[in-house]
Amino acid sequence: APNLKIDNLHVSIEDKKIVKGFDLEINGGEIHAVMGPNGTGKSTLASALMGHPKYEITEGNVAFNGEDLLEMEVDERARAGLFLAMQYPSEVSGVTNADFLRTAINGRRGEGNEIPLMKFIKQLDKKMDLLDIDQEFAQRYLNEGFSGGEKKRNEILQLMMIEPKIAILDEIDSGLDIDALKVVAKGVNEMRSEDFGCLIITHYQRLLNYITPDKVHVMMQGRIVKSGGPELAERLEAEGYDWIKEELGIED
């Protein structure tokens, strides 16, 4: 089963320390949520894990299925089965959604093991259906003129087609209406299996009404300060973050 083990990770941007001693282990079959106030380093963590060159890792280790993730190139990470929603360029002219997906899937499968076209089309049809995505959507250019909700739906379609081992979904719920939120949740829930682990990064609890996480972690000032079950997310929704700051004596 897949495993992502983040150990004492420190990340800086332009010499500013942002992530400061982040620890988390995700196994196949598990969905973890990381919640936290704005500016606490959640997106920095996600980008650093995907190997974004702007984010400098100054300390710590990350093992992905026992291999040193930090030594892997960005495309190697994707090939090994790590997925970050929003890792894709916002608009790519001349590339249709279907082209993009097929390239991404084949990149992950490797040379000589490309997905047969008919099989690809069948899977795409089935998954677009499940996510309530219009057929013509496949032939549209990637992200060109997509609404916010369409982009998010498309990211979940990518997730379902690429079938990564571990996915990091950063604010996949932001700006979504309830219908789009339910579709996103449906896709993630459909992915649930022993062969798939997921990290949901979110500011709000509402997505977690539709995707029940196994563990909820609160991130503040660059690290996890509290962990619990789904009830922790509910308390954050009701009471905000101040009680945790008080409990831990954190100033901001």
> Which residues in 34-93 contact ligand ADP (CB under 6 A)?
36, 38-44, 54
**Rounded to the nearest whole angstrom, what is the least distance from the CB of residue 161 to ligand ADP in the complex?**
26
Which of residues 43, 96, 123, 209 is near Mg ion by CB under 5 A? 43
Among Mg ion, ligand ADP, none, the one that 44 touches (CB under a kind-dependent 5 to 8 A) is ligand ADP
Binding range to ligand ADP, per CB under 6 A, among 12-20, 67-75, 82-90, 140-148: 12-20
15 binds ligand ADP (CB under 6 A): no
With contacts defined by CB under 5 A, how many residues of the chain interact with Mg ion?
A: 3
Would you say 53 or 66 has its CB closer to ligand ADP?
A: 53
Report if residue 12 touches Mg ion, rule: CB under 5 A. Answer: no
13 near Mg ion, rule: CB under 5 A:
no
Confirm or reject binding of residue 42 to Mg ion (CB under 5 A). Answer: yes
Choices 3-11, 37-45, 87-95, 207-215; region in contact with Mg ion by CB under 5 A? 37-45
Q: Please give, one letter per residue, the 3-state secondary structure of the chain.
A: CCEEEEEEEEEEECCEEEEEEEEEEEECCCEEEEECCCCCCHHHHHHHHHCCCCEEEEEEEEEECCEEHHHCCHHHHHHHCEEEECCCCCCCCCCEHHHHHHHHHHHHHCCCCCCCHHHHHHHHHHHHHHCCCCHHHHHCECCCCCCHHHHHHHHHHHHHHHCCCEEEEECCCCCCCHHHHHHHHHHHHHHCECCEEEEEEECCCHHHHCCCCCEEEEEECCEEEEEECHHHHHHHHHHCCHHHHHHHCCCC
Residues lying near ligand ADP in the complex (CB under 6 A) are found at 13-14, 18, 36, 38-44, 54
Residues lying near Mg ion in the complex (CB under 5 A) are found at 38, 42-43
